Structure formats: structure tokens, C-alpha cells
């Protein structure tokens, strides 16, 4: 699959954002996210900060987060970043109340690694859990869709976790 990146935005070597602030780093984003997020996903849908450039963060198809080409080894840091993740069209951003940076997502930003089934018949519910601990029960607010891999034709199932952010359902 093709990589999805914040399209049409200046590259990582773009000038400092308006106001003369230094370009954001992974550390400054993490610090801002810690201040902005108490528990669970941040209310990124309420935030519309200025775009500050791209940050060399990539989410691989298997759900691994990379910074400067190196896997982020602390799961709690990847979870923190995922809490400020926002999708706009086909582009993905890490957003705080004061800055927005583009990142690369190879396929889907999450991977559903477990599920539970409750009930039977029309009352049956399937709840998925991602590798970062997000949970979503399939239904109108969390639809499931199946796409075909372009190269292999293999089915690739997805479930929406929140606000247009999907998880590839691991098989």
C-alpha cells in the first residue's frame, strides 16, 4: 500500500512557524501532549492549531511507531502520541492545542490485536482492542470495512477506532 503523508505541506526543513517558535520535536510534542491529555484520546477535533511542518515519525503497517527511522521502544510514548493523532482526509497529524505536525502512516494508524464477542444473534457485539489499548465495539459508530491488497488481492479488514482513525484487524 502507499504511504499516507500530510500532503501539500512544507517539508521537515521548512522555516520556523509564525511567531518565531522553534520547529516542534518529538520531545516538545510529548511534553505538550502530557499537559493536554489526562486520560484517553485528547479532544483533537476541537483543536485547530497552525501547521508547523512534518516530523519524522512513521507508523508501520504492523503498528510499530518510528522516530527518525528508529522504533519507539517505550509503548507508553507511542500510546501518548496516538492520543493526539488526527486524520484530515488522507493525511495524519499529531495535534496539540498550539501545534500540528504531519506524520507518515503506512496503512492504518492502529492494529486490532484482540477481540471479544458478547451476546448472540442480533444482540451480538464484537469489541476490538488495539495494540495500544484502544477499544471499539463494531457498529454504526465503529464500522468494519474490507479492502483488497493491491498487489496480492488478499482481503484486509479494518475497524474504525475513533474519528476516522482505523485499525487493521490482525489475523
The whole-angstrom separation of Cα 126 and Cα 107 is 23
Domain check: are 60 and 12 in the same one?
yes
Mean residue pLDDT of the chain comes to: 85
- Which is more confident, 14 or 101? 101
Domain check: are 63 and 144 in the same one?
no
The residue written with cell numbers 501532549 in the block is: 33
Q: Which residues contact 74 (CB under 8 A, 6 or more apart)?
A: none
Q: Which residues contact 53 (CB under 8 A, 6 or more apart)?
A: 9, 10, 11, 12, 14, 17, 23, 24, 101, 102
Question: pLDDT per residue over 130-164, tens digit each?
Answer: 999 999 999 999 999 999 988 899 999 999 999 99
Total domains in the chain come to 2
Domain check: are 90 and 125 in the same one?
no
Residue 108 has pLDDT above 50, yes or no: yes
Q: What is the pLDDT of residue 40?
A: 72
- Which is more confident, 9 or 104? 104
pTM above 0.85, yes or no: no
Which domain does 8 fall in, by range? 4-105
Q: Which residues contact 163 (CB under 8 A, 6 or more apart)?
A: 44, 45, 86, 87
- The CATH number of residue 20's host domain is 3.10.540.10
Which one of 83, 105, 127 terminates a domain?
105
Domain check: are 16 and 91 in the same one?
yes
Amino acid at each position: 500500500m502507499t504511504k499516507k503523508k500530510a500532503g501539500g505541506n512544507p517539508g521537515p526543513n521548512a522555516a520556523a512557524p509564525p511567531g518565531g517558535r522553534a520547529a516542534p520535536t518529538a520531545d516538545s510534542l510529548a511534553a505538550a501532549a502530557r499537559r493536554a491529555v489526562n486520560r484517553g484520546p485528547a479532544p483533537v477535533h476541537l483543536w485547530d492549531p497552525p501547521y508547523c511542518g512534518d516530523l519524522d515519525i512513521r507508523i508501520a503497517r504492523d503498528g510499530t511507531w518510528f522516530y527518525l527511522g528508529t522504533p519507539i521502544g517505550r509503548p507508553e510514548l507511542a500510546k501518548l502520541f496516538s492520543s493526539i493523532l488526527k486524520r484530515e482526509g488522507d493525511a495524519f497529524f499529531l495535534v496539540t492545542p498550539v501545534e500540528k505536525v504531519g506524520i507518515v502512516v503506512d496503512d492504518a494508524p492502529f492494529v486490532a490485536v484482540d477481540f471479544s464477542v458478547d451476546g448472540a444473534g442480533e444482540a451480538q457485539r464484537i469489541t476490538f482492542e488495539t495494540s495500544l489499548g484502544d477499544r471499539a465495539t463494531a457498529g454504526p459508530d465503529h464500522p468494519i470495512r474490507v479492502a483488497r491488497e493491491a498487489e496480492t488481492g488478499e482481503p484486509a479488514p479494518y475497524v474504525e477506532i475513533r474519528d476516522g482513525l482505523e485499525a487493521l484487524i490482525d489475523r
